[in-house]
Amino acid sequence: MATLKSIKKRITSVKNTRQITKAMKMVSAAKLRRAQENVVAARPYARKLAEVLEKLADNQQTDSHPLLAQRDIEKVLLIVVTSDRGLCGGFNANLCKAAERFVKENRDQYSEINIMTIGRKGNEFLKNRQKVVKSYANIFGTLNYQTAALLAQEVIQGYLAEEYDKVYILFNAFKSVMTQEITLEQLLPVAPPEQAEETPTQYIYEPSQGALLDELLPKNIEVQMFRALLESLASEHGARMTAMDSASKNASEMIGKLTLIYNRARQAAITKELMEIISGAESIKG
């Protein structure tokens, strides 16, 4: 049986851990509010821009712009967005497993599947399991549109250079504090809507079709990339807040159980001492 000193030391250790988990929960809760506001603000613009581009793609010849070109799919790039830090439950593990599942399910369909990781945890998990060609870390601390635009431009340049023929992005979409949905979206090429209109809308372009597509298509990739990063950041804070809340509750339960064990051990020790005193007194009387 553990000694009173070791039990007391363990109670102190668990209490210190509970203080840390409570502090981390409060920090995540504060960051989550700002991240959630950013996601809610970004979604309508990103959704409408994607909708407009899909309709334009449905009205164009496949060779009207390189980012609309539907070429034979041989090489695929999968962008996996995870976090830089842990302690957020299954947030990263579930996403990385989804990435591995994507590779396994599509290995026979495509000749080559490369992975770009955004977030340190994704790279740590996948680098020895899959073909990770590029990795970026420590961007979520100062996440802004310029960072997302640079990443998007690098992806676009790779696509135009035919380093890959299709680009997907895999991330956790923010639904609520306790719910994050693993989402897979196609970034390139810009695909027309699944249910195309029977009579496509005819557009009048100003200044010209080429100039408009040159401006809007890269812009759309930047916006979709930025939205995905914002979704992932909000999901990370929500997942960490939930995980730390659960850890704090578990710590409180453990403290309660250890305190009960400590009190019982202390009571047993006191009883034993009393018995020894009584036995000693009886032997003196005898």
199 in any annotated domain: yes
Q: Which of residues 275 and 252 earns the better pLDDT score?
A: 252
**Do residues 259 and 223 share a domain?**
no
pLDDT in tens, 45-99: 999 888 877 777 666 555 567 888 777 888 999 999 999 998 898 899 999 999 9
- Count of CB atoms situated within 10 Å of the CB of 87: 15
Question: What pLDDT does 178 receive?
Answer: 87
DSSP 41-58: HHHHHHHHHHHHHHHHHH
- pLDDT value at position 195? 56
Same domain, 104 and 175: yes
Confidence of residue 277 (pLDDT cuts 50, 70, 90): confident
Answer yes or no: do 211 and 250 share one domain. no
CATH of the domain at 262: 1.10.287.80
State whether 264 and 215 are in the same domain.
no
Number of compact structural domains in the chain = 2
- In tens, the pLDDT along 4-28 reads 888 899 999 999 999 999 999 999 9
Residue in the block written with tokens 């719910």: 179
The whole domain housing 280 covers 4-19+244-285
CB 143 within 8 A of CB 233: yes
Indicate if 35 and 13 belong to the same structural domain.
no
What is the pLDDT confidence band of residue 285, given thresholds at 50, 70 and 90? confident
Q: What is the pLDDT of residue 282?
A: 75
Residue 73 within any structural domain of the chain = yes
pLDDT attached to residue 104: 92
**Annotated catalytic residue, options 24, 39, 88, 103:** 88
Task: Report the C-alpha gap between 102 and 166 in whole angstroms.
Answer: 14
Asked if residue 189 belongs to a domain, the reply is: yes
Whether residue 88 lies in the annotated active site: yes
Tell me how far apart the alpha carbons of residues 157 and 164 are, in angstroms, rounded to a whole number.
Answer: 10
Residue 24 lies in a domain: no
If asked whether residues 76 and 184 sit together in one domain, one would say yes
Tell whether 147 and 267 lie within a shared domain: no
pLDDT tens sequence across 143-159: 999 999 999 999 999 99
